[in-house]
Structure 1
């Protein structure tokens, strides 16, 4: 792997862009690495995946996120809400992507990688690539955190691999005129009757037996742990409150703050002194921050400023080895911080009594949802039967404790529709006039809707958004084609772990 933009110079100052501040939350977070490190002897394409290889792919995930390569993350499953699942999916899918790229002979060239890096907004001044921004990024953002130019280049290669393979796999995606015409329903005004079911106290307070709580605890002990917390002392360097500096003046002021913060870290490094001593020698005030977790949450804190500082410094705080360790300069917005770990409270297993409230709340919520779904489904079936026997919808709804509301002339795709109207009209798209939908969940509980009439679509509104609709539908088809290709490619990769097959 070549170094595409290495400069034979050392960047000694902290470069500050007044309009662009790079936030690297994911670069500080090693919890994901710990989770994947628990996997022993995984195999893909018949070869064992070493821990070194896993570490490399985890770093690629973190750097991909930080470089804003969201299409790569999205298509390879790295945007899942569950962080550990997102990381795992991304790593396996990335290996599959790289393997298939080699097999199909669509590996990116060095020139393509160079052009991709030069075109990243992160490294541009105006419309031109700025070598100074690139050099500062490497020396000040990557190197201190164990990243290299090689990894940056590899992320760009992966992004190009994805584009090349997507172009091949998604080529069949097309849209017929019949499909386009069918979408006109979202522009047809809907008149309907809405059956609303509100959650009641009976379903909200589902009983939970002590034996159920104990069983869940015994079968899932590894899940129930306290959260590790850390406390810090810190020194803040920020602009005066209410500062209205802009442009060059603001840049120069921020540079002075950065230099002052760097002076503290230099004093600590050169003199082997504590943050408290370094701050005292510089005439600076030490602030204390009570224990917080990896997200910056604190058990007891009503100070908005302390909450903001904790959330800003938590990722960097959990990167340090432990108590007594000091940080590098950490930038958050227009402020700079240097801190020292003063307290570490390791995670530990919860006792049954400690875990009981959490388990009970989760069980009660699950049971309540199940009871509510069962009761509303039963009520809707009774309403359907009552209608067949000659009852009006109003009479049938009242007998089942449901309320009946009218919806008149609401266009599903209208920009002025309320979220509730959009939710309800979406349930009518597959209905014929006179039909009643199945139960659908809603913020207030649940609902079903009977379509009374569907008016003609507004040709002008449909015409104005035809291009947008066509583009979105083709994009969705492409995503489905890629997802199916990735699924079959993963099956061919035969991903296995002890006692489990990922596929």
Structure 2
């Protein structure tokens, strides 16, 4: 048997190679080129947002929907339409922008405001208002499977309150006193009656006589205005040698210089 294998080893190698090819294509998976991309999801406010951070924020999108925060979700995903991936992307980016702007504007909802909003969330309300049993069931069955905790509910509620305050700031108008409005209107549209008096220089030139004393007095009074900086005029004579003369040496050069 061993002699047979040694004698036909080359053919056996070919057969083994042919049989191995299907197994290679079947068991060896194609590389996940998507996973080979950069870990950066986006760049916002001069900082990189990692894929891990984006995935964590995406879980908040699902949580907000489960809590019944429909207005909040719609505000952060406006324009995404039915594209779920686009909705996730917009929610992540808009939430980052919202938190940045709220911090920049100094908007920080109080603990009582957050607690009141949590009690009014649709997911925790029954016929008699806030249902603690629903809250407990949601914490156990709605948060744990997503890898989230109660603090994430408070965080989302805080984000919603910040968004509402920013909307109020943008919608608030500037109050202008009625007297100022009327004054501006009158300045723009009121009719003005103006009287014009014309003076002809020729009618006054005959009666005006200017003497030397008047000129001297005017000069003394406006001396600083009439004063001008010193000026000098300089004339320069150049006795330079030409290019051919510069090439001369010895006696010839001395004669030229004299």
TM-score, L = length of structure 2: 0.49
Query: Which structure's relative contact order is higher, taking Cα pairs within 8 Å and 6+ residues apart?
Result: 1
More helix by percentage: 2
Q: Between Structure 1 and Structure 2, which shows a larger proportion of strand residues?
A: 1
